[in-house]
Structure 1
Amino acid sequence: MVTVTSAFPQDGEFRTLEEIHAAALERLPRDAAVYLESGAGTEQTLRANREAFTRWVIKPKPMTGVGDPKTNTEFLGISLSVPVLTAPFGGDALFARDGHLAVARANAATGIASIVPEVGSFSWEQVAEAAPSAARIAQLHPFDSFDASAERIKAAGYDALCVTVDCPIMGFRTRNRMERFRFDPVVWAGNVIHDCSPNVASTYGSKIVPAWTWDQLAEATARHQMPWIAKGILTPEVAEAAIGAGASAILVSNHGGRQIDPSPASLDMLPAIAAQVAGRVPVLLDSGLRTGGDVFLALALGASAVVIGRLAAYGLAAAGEHGVRRTVELLTEELHILMTLAGIPDIGSLTAAAVAPRP
């Protein structure tokens, strides 16, 4: 389990997201920090995710009369104070003892929502009980336990599913291998322990079946009559297949650079995917987001909202619930400032007209 200090600073001590990142790396043991920061292969995708944001600029638009832009929005009927959700990153107790319990409580305090993981330190039920107003979407994999998991999720009061489609097996994560990465499997076992399974590795191994098809996923999701997000989409063709299978939303993602390397940066693929989707379902983006400016660019290029993984984990490692809450507050503050300077009165008005390729 987590070995970071319990003497977390109060949120007011952090003035920037960079400070939160630095505090997280200072507090984490080396192996947990490497796990958090690393990607697959030679980490070309990991770097590309950040570099993609440098290829765009925000166009200033003064004298518009915009003084207090509205950052609130709605996604799948869920009200958000800012177009941000937290990602279903696993192993959350590596970063703070309360893991996704703390993330969900912070999200409830700031008015955003959690995507709660299947392979996390706490069960879907535990997170829903800790913060029912934030625990709105539950993530799961197309394992042979899909039906049982979906029934548990529905009974716990979640509004939607998030199905990870790009991870039938784990990517070749070079740095993790070089570090001889080993953690107590209990940090991934919140939902396994709930099922009273004695051995985490063998239990997850038994759930994994030969890779599903879109037809199989369409049948499985239709049985449960819940909106669902297809997570891990990187091409217009696959986005179309997901919509054909009944997806209620598309999450453009390369798993934070942790699956295929080299792979396209998520932001690079967003405009083409958004064009293909053409407003039929909402489009989300994750991978590479680090600032409020990144959020602005993603929204301008076609995302309805963004999903933050490492940013939320940095906040969690830096100061638990306080750190996650402060992360969301700083993202919101920066987005609000940029919308003011770009003359954008509300999220619905934030379009591609507000950005341009870097000259």
Structure 2
Amino acid sequence: MTDLTSTPPAAPGEMYPQETGFAVLDEIRDAALEQLSPEVVDYLEGGAGTEATLRANRGAFGRWAIKPRPMSGVSGPDTGTEFLGLPLSAPVLTAPFGGDGLFHDGGQIAVARANAACGTASIVPEAGTFSYERVAEAAPAAARIAQLHPFEHFEVSAERARRAGYTTLCVTVDCSTAGFRVRNRTNRFSPDLAYFAGNQDGVGTPQVAEMFERLLGLSTPSWDWGRLAEATSRCALPWIAKGVLTADAAEQAIAAGAAALVVSNHGGRQLDPAPASLDALPEVAAAAAGRVPIALDSGVRTGSDIFTALALGADAVLIGRLAAYGLAAAGEEGVRRTIELLTEELRTVMMLAGTASVSDIDANCLTERPR
């Protein structure tokens, strides 16, 4: 099998080595989209409504430029950090995208193994193809955070994750119902629910069809912060609130006991139009005021995007579509190469911006582009 990750040394006179595999992230995305059926491509690439939020996520990064710092003396910058006590070789975690078996047979098991190889971490989805237990058994060092939804079975799922070795929960708070996803509706997209049913085999957990009925139903009773606070107070694990876009939501989440926040609009797949995650980040960071760590999700595509997010107040980023591209392109090797390329570009940007460590990256490193 072709090695998709190794890079031979450059020959004399070559500016760049002749890659045997993926040289840039766009090659991974292209390879991924070639592997997938058109309806799965739309499921992966699409957003809600007119996809204004999807476009805004990328547009927000384009409004910032990174200031070069020539002759800084910085070499070999350190991308290492930690998030909620979890050591990371780079400020990157993979987002909890479900239906992962649609993209590759290895699914989140392959994602977690790639994270383990790279020294990063997975947020393992509740609606994934493989159970919390199977992913944790395959890559215990990386499968440390379990994602779940605030439904009636919350405490059963939380205890199951704890027993499987997870140290943190990630609660998706922006999904009281699924977004109005036009591409999926147009395609009459109806995948085999087995791709989403990895965790639907324990006592007290709903069948996957029931879970989707709750998720898609507009009349399903939804939780509020008070009910979430009560449920999480009975769990033995700290939890992250994923889906925070305003100062008010940040305050509510922290008051409810959240140990960290994820600034996210669900990759543009929920409310549309909604604020771009990067645009919301400074407001949320100011509201949090250092009380809890913050991750940025939605729209990250490059190492310079990671730098920009850190400069505006994030402690780490989540990658969803990027990880899915890697998975679809080449399974575990594709995800690993994705993380390697992101880290390599981040390190390059840090050196050119004169930042020796991620803790040196702040708002002074950025300038707004003229509008």
Q: TM-score, normalised by structure 2?
A: 0.92
Q: Quick one: distance in 2 between partners of 1:146 and 1:194? A: 13
1:119 and 2:127 are equivalent in the alignment: yes
Distance 1:184 1:355 in 2: 45
Asked if the contact 2:170–2:240 (Cα under 8 Å) also holds between the matched residues in 1, the reply is yes
Q: Is the 8 A contact 1:231 1:250 kept in 2?
A: yes
Shift of 1:226: 1.2
How much identity, in percent, do the aligned residues show?
62
CA contact (8 A) 1:69 1:340 kept: yes
In structure 1, C-alpha distance between the alignment counterparts of 2:300 and 2:205, rounded to whole Å: 36
- For 2:46 and 2:87, the matched residues in 1 are separated by 33
Paired residue total: 353
Q: CA RMSD in A?
A: 1.6
Mapped to 2, the partners of 1:248 and 1:192 lie a distance apart of 27
Q: Which residue of 2 aligns with 1:346?
A: 357
Q: 1:179 is matched by which residue type in structure 2?
A: N
CA offset digits 1:116-163 (Å, max 9, x no partner): 000000000110001000001000000100111111011001010000
2:156 touches 2:205 (CA, 8 Å); kept in 1? no
1:123–1:194 contact (8 Å) kept in structure 2: no
C-alpha distance 196-250 of structure 1, shift in aligned 2 (>3 A)? closer
- In the alignment, the residues of structure 2 paired with residue 159 and residue 68 of structure 1 have an alpha-carbon distance, to the nearest angstrom, of 32
1:202 to partner: Cα distance: 2.5
Displacement, 1:11? Answer: 2.7
- Choose from 195, 201, 208 the match for 1:187: 195
Matched with 2:306 is 295
2:336 alignment counterpart: 325
Deviations along 1:286-321, one digit per CA (max 9) or x if unpaired, are 001100010000000000000000000000000000
Distance in 1 separating the partners of 2:61 and 2:45:
18
Structure 2 counterpart of 1:178, which letter? T
Matched ranges for 1:1-359 at <5 A = 10-12=4-6, 13-195=21-203, 199-205=207-213, 210-359=221-370
**2:123 maps to amino acid:** I
Which whole-Å CA distance do the structure 1 matches of 2:206 and 2:213 have between them? 13
Task: Give the letter aligned to residue 333 of structure 1.
Answer: E
Return the letter of the residue paired with 1:304: D
Counterpart CA distance in 1 for 2:296 and 2:205 is 34
Mapped partners of 2:299, 2:308: distance in 1:
12
Q: For 1:324 and 1:164, how far apart are their aligned partners in 2? A: 23
TM-score by length of 1: 0.95
- Secondary structure at the counterpart of residue 71 of structure 2: coil
Q: Which runs of 5+ in 1 are unaligned?
A: 1-6
Moved over 2 A (4+): 7-12, 193-200, 202-209
Q: How far apart in 2 are the matches of 1:95 and 1:11? A: 19
The amino acid across from 1:313 in the alignment is A
Q: Is this contact kept in 1: 2:153–2:206, CA < 8 A?
A: no
